Amino acid sequence: MSNILRSLLHRLGAALIVMIGISMLIFAIARVMPGDPARIALGPNATAEQVAALRLERHLDASLPVQYWEFVKSLATGDLGKSLYTNRPVTTDIAQFLPATLELVFVSGILMVLIGLPLGILSAHFRGRFPDHVGRLISLLGVCTPAFVWGVILQLVFGYFWGWFPIEGRLLEGTPIPPGPTGFYLIDMAMAGNGAGFLDALHHLILPALALAMSGLGQTARLTRSNMNEVYDRPYVEMARAYGFPARRIATRYAFRPALIPTLTILGLEFAAMLGNAFLVEKVFGWPGLSRYGVEVILRKDLDAIVGTVLVIAAAFLIVNIIVDILVNVINPRIRLAAGRA
């Protein structure tokens, strides 16, 4: 156990360095984009004095290193600055929009794993036969069709034609927004003991989550299939067959686990990529999430909000990667035991 802890600390340290690098980069990039953020924020009718005052207030005339130093100082107190557009602290904005995105991405990730892995296993188990062809078709469509197209298709078919699912939003109109504490409606509703509200939130989640999951789901199925096909040629699978292990048990255990190790790493990346892809899906489904907020603030050149959003998404990305690394270590005994010896 201690070696897993040690590798966790090691990875956290590396993640911190990455975060510092990202903060510098995005800080600089946001500021070299053309356009005067103070002018954009105040609008065309503001006077030159007003613009100058705002630039002074936000240290916009200072040199980049000085601005960065100011940013780091306030970051140390948990302050990410103020949005020029909403005029609220960036942390407040993020706290409002982040849970919606995370909830969407988590549910997508779960769908990706729960559908993608079995699809890949089925394809490999029935290699070259009918279930394999179906599985490959689904995963290919998943990979090559962008998430927003899936969003529109799902809305049309299941929302509009058949009317099974709502097309927009997180809850039905009139359903009271749960008071908290997490901002994840599924969890908040469950904690409040509101069964109808929970189902309502889930009902609204399924289509956008599926649309967002499709590409990762296809990728997962394809990877699982090809990694398992490779494993099926290994001597230890021949051994399993030669000793009469049931074919289903070989597919779900003896060929699946070795194949899962390389799949899992890519799965983590796919999961993290959803954080970015979520924007299109959020746009299509009117989902009030952070990705949408992020793009809006970039278009408005809202400096503090850009930096804050990017940092939060980067942190989420890094956390997911650390979790995946740990999972790989747990699943792969060779790494787990080697880490103990090192």
Partner 1 sequence: MNNALQKPVLTIRDLRLAFGDRRHQTPVLHGISLHIQPGEKVALVGESGSGKSVTARLAMGLLQDSKRTHVSGSIWFDGIDAAKGGPEIARRRGNRVAMIFQDPTSALNPTFKIRGQFRDVLRSGDRSISKDEADRRAEAALAEVSIPDPKRALDSYAFQLSGGMNQRVMIAMSLANRPQLLIADEPGTALDVTVQAQTLNLMHELTEKTGTSVLLISHNLGVVREFADRVYVIYRGRIVEHGTTAQLFNDPRHPYTRALLAAIPKISGGGLPDLPERSPEFENPLITHEGCGEPAEALS
Residue numbers 135-194 binding partner 1 by CB under 8 A:
none
Counting Cβ atoms within 10 Å, is residue 99 exposed (0-12), middle (13-18) or buried (19+)?
A: buried
> Residue 334, interface with partner 1 (CB under 8 A)?
yes
Q: Choose which of 11, 31, 39, 234 interacts with partner 1 (CB under 8 A).
A: 234
Count of CB atoms within 10 A of residue 152's CB?
A: 16
Mask for 87-126, x = binds partner 1 (CB under 8 A): ----------------------------------------
Check: CB of residue 91 under 8 Å from CB of residue 310: no
Which range binds partner 1 by CB under 8 A, 45-53, 72-80, 265-273, 326-334?
326-334
Closest CA relative to residue 275, chosen from 323, 309, 231, 233:
309
φ/ψ (deg, to 5) at 261: -60, -55
Q: Which is nearer to partner 1, 48 or 341 (CB)?
A: 341
> Residue 333, interface with partner 1 (CB under 8 A)?
yes
Q: Which is nearer to partner 1, 21 or 246 (CB)?
A: 246
Q: Which is nearer to partner 1, 17 or 242 (CB)?
A: 242
- Report DSSP state, residue 293: H
Residue numbers 271-300 binding partner 1 by CB under 8 A:
none
Please give the Cα distance from 342 to 337 (Å, whole number): 9
> Residue 202, interface with partner 1 (CB under 8 A)?
no
Q: What is the DSSP string of 202-246?
A: HHHHHHHHHHHHHHHHHHHHHHHHHHHHHHHTSHHHHHHHHTT--
Q: Choose which of 20, 177, 337, 340 interacts with partner 1 (CB under 8 A).
A: 337
167: helix, coil or strand?
Answer: coil
Q: Choose which of 176, 233, 235, 342 interacts with partner 1 (CB under 8 A).
A: 235
Which range binds partner 1 by CB under 8 A, 7-15, 25-33, 218-226, 253-261?
253-261
Q: Choose which of 42, 245, 298, 339 interacts with partner 1 (CB under 8 A).
A: 245
> Residue 244, interface with partner 1 (CB under 8 A)?
yes
Q: Which is nearer to partner 1, 88 or 129 (CB)?
A: 129
Question: Residues for the chain: how many in total?
Answer: 342
Q: Choose which of 34, 44, 65, 128 interacts with partner 1 (CB under 8 A).
A: 128
Q: Choose which of 53, 149, 261, 315 interacts with partner 1 (CB under 8 A).
A: 261
Q: Which is nearer to partner 1, 1 or 76 (CB)?
A: 1
**CB of residue 10 to partner 1, shortest distance in Å:** 24
Please give the Cα distance from 275 to 310 (Å, whole number): 11
* C-alpha torsion angle, residues 290, 292, 294, 297 (rounded to 10): -130
Q: Which is nearer to partner 1, 313 or 328 (CB)?
A: 328
> Residue 133, interface with partner 1 (CB under 8 A)?
no
- Report DSSP state, residue 89: B
Half-sphere exposure of 132 (CA within 13 A, CB side): 12
Closest CA relative to residue 41, chosen from 292, 299, 270, 216:
299
Q: Which is nearer to partner 1, 115 or 260 (CB)?
A: 260
Amino acid at residue number 298: I
Residues lying near partner 1 in the complex (CB under 8 A) are found at 128, 234-236, 238-245, 249, 253-254, 257-258, 261, 331-334, 337
